[in-house]
Amino acid sequence: MMDPNILKDNAERIADRLTVILGLTGLLKDGAFGAITERQRGALQETIETSEELKELLSPIFFDDKSLRS
């Protein structure tokens, strides 16, 4: 079994990276950096949905054990 501290560190790193991906993708989609086409908006929406799905898939792996939650 993996050390709980390693799991917690990895979980936090993954959560941080997903937050960045979701945040920046959302800003792009909302036009914060300039206008985008509908095709680009669709690609960004797909990225958001896929990132959310990945977050849901990973959550039970890292956060199922209450002792790993911060």
Instruction: State the pLDDT confidence band at 69, using cuts at 50, 70 and 90.
Output: very low
0.85 surpassed by pTM = no
Separation CA 36–CA 18 (nearest Å): 22
For residue 7, pLDDT beyond 80: no
Of residues 68 and 65, the one with the higher pLDDT is: 65
Cβ-proximal residues to 17 (8 Å cutoff; 6+ apart), any chain: none
What pLDDT digit, counting tens, does each position of 20-61 carry?
999 999 999 999 999 999 999 999 999 999 999 998 888 887
Q: Report yes or no on 7 lying in a domain.
A: no
Q: Is residue 22 part of a domain?
A: yes
| Domains held by the chain: number | 1
Structural domain that includes position 53: 18-28+39-63
The Cα 22–Cα 7 span in angstroms is 22
The model's confidence at residue 67, banded by pLDDT at 50, 70 and 90, is: very low
